Amino acid sequence: MPFELIILLSMLVVFALGVFLAKLPSGVALVLSAIVGALVAGEGFPLRHLVEGAFGYLDAMLIIATAMIFMKALEASGALGTLGHLLVKSLYRWPTLLFVFIALFVMFPGMLTGLSSACILTTGALVAPAMLAMRIPAPAVGSFIAMLAVYGMIAPPINIPVMIIGGGVDMPYIGFEKPLALASFPLALVAALYYRFRYVRKIHIDEVLSQLPSPVHAKHGIMLFAPLVLVVALMVAIRVVPQYVPDIGIPLIFLLGSLAGLFTGERMKFWTTARSAIRDAMPVMVILVGVGMFVQIMTLTGVRGFLAVGALNLPPAFLYVGISLLMPAFGSAYASASVIGVPLVYVFLGKDEIVVTSALSLIAGLGDLMPPPMLLCAFASQIVGEKNQFRILRQSIPLMVLSLIVAIAMIAFANSVAKMY
């Protein structure tokens, strides 16, 4: 048995024992598994590597923390409930149209920022109460917004996994709009129709509205939505007119939006709201600390290379199946794109590189749903109040499989796809 496999198995066993037997939080179990991995590999207790890995996702953690504060502020100001109320009231007569609209709405922040988590924490959180009020089961709602978050991250104009792969192979981010649209919008449409026809026959408007918080727009007017407009406007402005609007960073944008919420809706205690948000975000942030240490030790000990070479070593007949299983297994879109996405572009030399890279980004994007971090499932479970994140993952399997089929087809027929546009 290869030594790297022994290290990997020891890490996974410690993680599983920590989560299922000792009932530790996933993040803490990941920290322990990283320490054990280093010990098994003979690296001792590599404190510097563990701390360095812990900071690997610092920027993502800041975004998560501030986005959560923003969402709590919107909720406390009454904007969140009012928006859900207005959305359902306006479109309940046309449920199919309502679901397509919701799908595009949820995807929007991801299209703009390239961050799947931004979709769940902003627009996903806005529509979730309305969907729950339609008596759609919580795992299904969580799965719906989690899948749309993946598609939002993949959809143009901004796709960071493609940029990461492009950075690794010196390919400029030019000409990706159409293949990325092909890899995302049709799947989003299918997702909207799937959940619409599976779970919603007719919307009983009075019953739904009674489950939602009472709207407060009559009291506060259009200003109620000013924080949301401010955040979206700043996100758009730093992309569209960067020469006039400096990129102040997504965390600061969310914080400005949160502060604006103090003056535009129902009264709130900002300190209490922020504390509550950080308490909710803490488990996910701890997971990211643990994942950072886990990845750092995997790289240090050669386990990362073992997995990457293993993917390349697959027989041609199993290559596509292997990619479908291995790429998402990295548990993070960015890690997957960086570690395995870059070499795979070379494996598929001869096929249209832009189409191949777009498709690989879709497969990598599914990694955000997968354990151990299960980032999107963890967020979605908090938003919809589902305690078991695995139920959201299980609910997502049909769409994940469909997404993999679409991505593999795009790779297999990349040159034909390229001729379509």
Partner 1 sequence: MERHHITALCMLIVIAVVCTLAGREFLKMYEPDEIIPGPGVTKVDNLSSYSGDLAGTISDTKVYVLDSGKPGATALVLGGTHPNEPAGFMTAVVLTEHAFVREGRVIVIPQVCSSGFTCTDPLEGYPQSYSIQTKSKIRSFRFGARGSNPLTEWPDPLVFLQYPSGQQLSGNEVRNLNRSYPGRPDGTVTERVAYAVMQLIERENVDIAFDLHEAAPEIPIINAIVTHEKGKDAAASALFTLESENLQFALEMSPPNFHGLSHREWGDRSAVFPYLMETSNPIQGRLRGVTNEALVVQGIDRKYFEAAQIGSMRITYDLEGEPLARRVGRHLRGLQALLGAYMESTPEKRIVVDSVPEYEEILARGLGDFLH
Q: Nearest distance from residue 61's CB to partner 1, in Å?
A: 12
CB of 307 to partner 1, least distance (A): 10
CB within 8 A of 407, min separation 6: which ones? 183, 324, 359, 360, 362, 363
Task: Please select the residue that binds partner 1; options are 5, 169, 236, 420, rule is CB under 8 A.
Answer: 169
Which of 34, 88, 134, 340 is close enough to bind partner 1 by CB under 8 A? Answer: 340
For residue 249 the two structure tokens come to 């960073």
Number of residues binding to partner 1, judged by CB under 8 A: 60
Q: Interface with partner 1 includes 236 (CB under 8 A)?
A: no
User: What residue type is 314 in one-letter code?
Assistant: L
Query: With the CA atoms of 288, 289, 290 and 293 taken in that order, what torsion angle do they form, in degrees rounded to the nearest 10?
Result: 120
Residue 62 interacting with partner 1 (CB under 8 A) = yes
Rounded to 5 degrees, what are φ and ψ at 84? -60, -40
Sign of CA dihedral 366, 370, 375, 379: positive
Out of 131, 335, 393, 410, the residue judged to bind partner 1 by CB under 8 A: 335
Which residue from 235, 275, 231 is spatially nearest to 257, judged by alpha carbons?
A: 231
Residue with tokens 């920027």: 59
Does 47 help bind partner 1 (rule: CB under 8 A)?
A: yes
**358 binds partner 1 per the rule CB under 8 A:** no
- Closest CB to partner 1 among 335 and 377? 335
In the complex, what is the shortest distance from the CB of residue 241 to partner 1, in angstroms, rounded to a whole number?
A: 11
Nearer to partner 1, 262 or 347 (CB): 347
By CB under 8 A, is residue 301 in contact with partner 1?
yes
Q: Which is nearer to partner 1, 165 or 191 (CB)?
A: 165
Give how far Cα 130 sits from Cα of 71, 98, 251, Å: 15, 11, 27
Cα dihedral angle (404, 194, 155, 310), rounded to 10 degrees?
Answer: -20
174 binds partner 1 (CB under 8 A): yes
239 binds partner 1 (CB under 8 A): yes
Residue 351, beta-bridge partner list: 349
**22 belongs to the binding site for partner 1 (CB under 8 A):** no
Residues within window 124-163 making contact with partner 1, judged by CB under 8 A:
158, 160, 163
CB of 407 to partner 1, least distance (A): 19
Per the CB < 8 A criterion, the answer to whether 376 and 146 are in contact is yes
**Cis preceding-peptide flag for 137 (omega within 30 of 0):** no
Write the CB contacts of 207 (distance below 8 Å, at least 6 apart in sequence).
Answer: 133
Beta partners for 349?
A: 351
Query: Residue 100 or 238: which CB sits closer to partner 1?
Result: 238
Q: How many Å apart are CA 114 and CA 7, to the nearest integer?
A: 33
Output 170 or 206, the one with its CB closest to partner 1: 170
> Look-up: residue for tokens 């299209």?
111
For residue 206, with 0-12 CB atoms within 10 Å meaning exposed, 13-18 middle and 19 or more buried, which class applies?
exposed
* Number of alpha carbons in the 13 Å side-chain half-sphere of residue 1: 8
Token digits of residue 338: 């960086």
Shortest distance in whole angstroms from residue 327 CB to partner 1: 13
Q: Which x/- pattern over 95-124 shows residues binding partner 1 (rule: CB under 8 A)?
A: ------------------xxx---------
Minimum Å gap between C-beta 147 and partner 1 is: 22
When binding is defined by CB under 8 A, the residue of 251, 261, 367, 372 that contacts partner 1 is 251
Smallest separation (angstroms) from partner 1 to the CB of 294: 10
Among 12, 20, 221, 247, binds partner 1 (CB under 8 A): 247
- Binding interface with partner 1 (CB under 8 A): 4, 41, 47-53, 55-56, 59, 62, 113-115, 158, 160, 163-164, 166-170, 172-174, 238-239, 242, 247, 249-251, 292, 295-297, 299-302, 304-306, 308-309, 312-313, 319, 335, 338-340, 342-343, 346-347, 349
